[in-house]
Amino acid sequence: MRLFLAILIGKTISFLTKTLKTGGGSAAPGYYALKIEPKLVEKLAKKIPTNVIITGTNGKTTTARLLAHLAKEAGLKVIRNSTGSNLERGIASSLISHFTFPTSYFQLGVWELDEAAFNSVAPKLKPDIVVFLNVFRDQLDRYGEVDSVISKWTKTLDKIDSKTTILINGDDLKLKSLKTIFDGKTETFGVEDYKIVGESLEQIGENHKLDFEAKNVKLDGLNGSHFILEIRNLKLEISLPIPGIYHIYDAVAALAAAHHLNLPTNQLASSLTHFSPAFGRVEKIKDGFIFLIKNPAGATQVFETIAPQIKPADRLLLALNDNFADGIDVSWIWDAAVEVLREKWIGKSVICSGSRANDVAVRLKYAGFDTKSILVEPDLEKAFSEARIGLKGTVYVLPTYTALLELQEILVENGLKKHYWKEEG
Amino acid sequence: MKLNIGYLYPDLMNIYGDTGNVITLQRRCQWRGIEVKIINISVGNYIPTSQVGTQIDLFFFGGGQDQSQNIVANDLGKSEKSKVIRQEVERGVPLLSICGGYQLLGEYYQPAIGPRLAGVGIFPAYTVASKQRMIGNIVIRIQNAELRMLEKLSSAEQDGNNNSAFDTLNSELFLVGFENHSGKTYLKKGARPLGRVIKGFGNNGEDKSEGCIYKNAIGCYMHGSLLPKNPDLADWLIKTALEVKYKKEIELKPLDDTLENAAHQSALQKFS
């Protein structure tokens, strides 16, 4: 009865927030429903035959979206928390809004959980597969230090059934301890000749054994990449329509999970060719691109991906907010390799926006950007229009999470796209 | 002129953008035509010596995770580094330490479980682990009187005069940053805090003190990064380092700090 009431309340709130346009309705319904029925997630997740959890600092949303895409293409009914709401209330919201009480018709749940939520929510979901993508320094004000993230994961794995399969990024040595402590099956994935060192991906000569490995990687600018995925004796030729080495990791993780779910292997490669990324993650807009940035590692990867593509008439807009969802500590911009962009930006203007626009401006200055080319405009709408006035090239917009949400509104108002919650999950 | 910055344990003690402080010192020297060399000092290295002490003119020591902090505490004691850094601070060499680095330069650190970690003993202060995580934006006020006292200490060593960058400030200086620690630091009697907390927790969240100053060594909990948004402090460190090195008064060429000051002001307005 409590469960029914919780779902009813949740659905009502979801309807209201959407109708009143106060937001995407992605967190509030779950928040209130959990107050009524704290066991909501356990109870509803039990009704889904197979659940996959994806956690890690970077790439959760893209990996979840990739896996859901592959599963849907294979004909499965998939439920997932789709708008980057990866705390328990986001999971609850998703379960509520998609559930037709009292039975479920979903065959697969794909759940992205942030580093901290993993510990409280993962045991409740009773996952069949858990994917550990990576662990970097993130919005540390919320998650604590990297060492403590790993040690908490280790403790949580104790509460996970040994029938579960754990997929670990074998190139992230910080994750190594997870492989040794888990009782059940563990397998590794990664990219040939790469290793994660500190905040960045480094190319290395040495080989180590991976169960799922991307080989012969060929990057194709902002169009994407091509590689061969080796699964033991099996070789799949993959064309990935999203750019950057970091997205290859997401794809290999999703393909590894898909393989374990016994999705038909011969379809995987062709399904991937028409994959479209989540909003803000390499989002193509009319005259530019949006790349979400949120921590040193992710931002550095974005800088490295776009730097080689920059042409003389291009513009850059960086938007740094310090709301809770962004992380209230903006220190991380000093750990991101902003220097990667500098040479490409000599003589071109850069617009700094968001609630901490001034902090970005200072970071750019100390990265060697010419102060005359730095424009500070905290108001994102004004900054975005400034960036597009007389634009002859491409505008690269790099927002933090809440700036990205604001930007979506601005794009909608300007008729450049529809609301993100109206997009297909 | 040339400035050697000794970056203590950059591989182990660099968290929450602490590296931004070193970038800032380096750039602000370069923009003035002062040559900078960054000397990384970590486990297995020693601090290069010179006739007067070491080749380091300015030390930086950032924060780290617990595990790294154990390794570093161990290495400081085992190697000669602890003794050498103490001697250099006595000589007047400026030092900036943040969070974990600050804790390790105190007398000791008492973890929640296990024995005390001995500190370098520069700051008359000790740190005790707590269950409270002190996280958030922090604003502190530095009274000029406190800084003048600091100046007197350093200039006595140098036989120089008392002029300092801070003397040009009419009344007081504010520092803005971001803190994230669970260790509570308590200053012993006679220890001089860096400033008074206007917003945030500071040393321990109890007595409104933040940081500690001994001679020209500064310890504090302020990430952010600290120096990019507080260029006056960055310049004070550079100036003091050069004055100790060249044994004469140094006038730093003024820089255009429009962007830095805007970041400082907006943080100040937003958080205090």
Taking only residues 177 to 206 of chain B, the set having a beta carbon closer than 8 angstroms to any beta carbon of chain A reads 178, 180
> Minimum mean pLDDT among A296-305, A355-364, A410-419: which range?
A410-419
pLDDT tens digit string along A279-290?
Answer: 778 888 888 999
B15 in A contact zone (CB under 8 Å): yes
- Residue A81 has a pLDDT of 83
Q: Where are the domains of chain B?
A: 2-271
E strand residue ranges, A163-295: 165-169, 185-191, 194-197, 200-203, 212-220, 224-231, 234-240, 281-285, 288-291
- Bridge partners (DSSP) of residue A54 are A112, A131
Highest mean pLDDT among A97-101, A137-141, A363-367: A363-367
Let me know if B181 is a catalytic residue: no
Higher pLDDT, A44 or B60: B60
Burial A371-407 (b: 16+ CB within 10 A, else e): eeebbbbbebeebbebbbeeeeebbbbbbbbbbbbbb
Higher pLDDT, A138 or B11: B11
Instruction: Give the residue ranges of chain B where pLDDT is below 70.
Output: 144-171
- Bridge partners (DSSP) of residue A186 are A166
A150 in B contact zone (CB under 8 Å): no
- Residue A73 has a pLDDT of 94
CB contact under 8 A, B66 and A147: yes
- Residue A279 has a pLDDT of 75
pLDDT tens digit string along A338-382?
Answer: 999 988 887 788 999 999 999 999 999 999 999 999 999 999 999
B20 in A contact zone (CB under 8 Å): yes
Of A147, A148, A329, the CB nearest to B178: A329
pLDDT tens digit string along A229-241?
Answer: 999 888 999 999 9
Of B65, B223, B229, the CB nearest to A362: B229
- Bridge partners (DSSP) of residue A315 are A395
Q: Other C-beta atoms within 10 Å of A148: how many?
A: 15
Question: Helices A115-125 and A88-98 meet at what angle, rounded to 10?
Answer: 50
pLDDT tens digit string along B205-220?
Answer: 999 999 999 999 999 9
CA torsion sign for B22, A140, A199, A350 is negative
From residue A83, how far is each of A244, A396, A420, B134 by CA, in Å? 22, 22, 8, 30
Let me know if B29 is a catalytic residue: no
% of chain A at pLDDT higher than 90: 53
Cα distance between residue B2 and residue B58, in whole Å:
11
Structural domain B2-271, CATH architecture: 3-Layer(aba) Sandwich (3.40)
- Chain centroid to CA A3: 30
Using a 10 angstrom Cβ sphere, with 0-12 exposed, 13-18 middle and 19 or more buried, the burial of residue B18 is buried
Cα distance between residue B241 and residue B92, in whole Å:
8
Within 8 A of A353 by CB-CB distance, chain B residues are: none
- Residue A23 has a pLDDT of 52
Cα distance between residue B218 and residue B263, in whole Å:
22
Which ranges of A48-164 does DSSP label H, i.e. alpha helix? Answer: 60-73, 88-98, 115-125, 140-143, 146-157
Does residue A425 register a pLDDT over 50? no
- Bridge partners (DSSP) of residue B214 are B217
Q: pLDDT grade, residue A200 (50/70/90)?
A: low
pLDDT tens digit string along A83-92?
Answer: 556 678 888 8
CB contact under 8 A, A335 and B27: no
The CATH number given to A2-273 is 3.40.1190.10
Kindly report the backbone phi and psi dihedral angles of residue A295, in degrees, each rounded to the nearest multiple of 5, phi listed first: -160, 170
pLDDT tens digit string along A395-411?
Answer: 999 999 999 999 999 99
From residue A425, how far is each of A56, A98, A114, A276, A290 by CA, in Å? 20, 11, 18, 11, 18
Please tell me the CATH superfamily of domain A281-422, with its number.
Mur ligase, C-terminal domain (3.90.190.20)
Within 8 A of A359 by CB-CB distance, chain B residues are: 228-229, 263, 267
Taking only residues 167 to 206 of chain A, the set having a beta carbon closer than 8 angstroms to any beta carbon of chain B reads none
Cα distance between residue B220 and residue B95, in whole Å:
11
CA distance, residue B118 to nearest chain A CA (Å): 22
Interface test with B, best of A145, A320, A328 (most B CBs within 10 A): A145
Query: What mean pLDDT do residues A323-339 have?
Result: 91
From residue B209, how far is each of A161, B139, B222 by CA, in Å? 49, 11, 13
B263 in A contact zone (CB under 8 Å): yes
ipTM of the complex: 0.91
Q: What tokens were used for A201?
A: 């991906």
Q: Where are the domains of chain A?
A: 2-273, 281-422
Within 8 A of B258 by CB-CB distance, chain A residues are: 371
- Residue A87 has a pLDDT of 76
SS3 B238: helix
- Bridge partners (DSSP) of residue A80 are A110
Max CA pair span of chain A: 65
Interface test with A, best of B98, B225, B260, B269 (most A CBs within 10 A): B225
Does residue A324 register a pLDDT over 60? yes
Question: Helices A146-157 and B66-78 meet at what angle, rounded to 10?
Answer: 120
Q: What tokens were used for B71?
A: 């390794």
Q: pLDDT grade, residue A177 (50/70/90)?
A: confident
Query: What mean pLDDT do residues A154-174 have?
Result: 93
CB of A131 within 8 A of CB of A63? Answer: yes
Interface test with A, best of B13, B16, B199, B269 (most A CBs within 10 A): B16
A362 in B contact zone (CB under 8 Å): yes
Higher pLDDT, A307 or A348: A307
- Residue B105 has a pLDDT of 97
Number of H helices, E strands in chain A: 16, 17
Cα distance between residue B70 and residue A309, in whole Å:
43
CA distance, residue A77 to nearest chain B CA (Å): 42
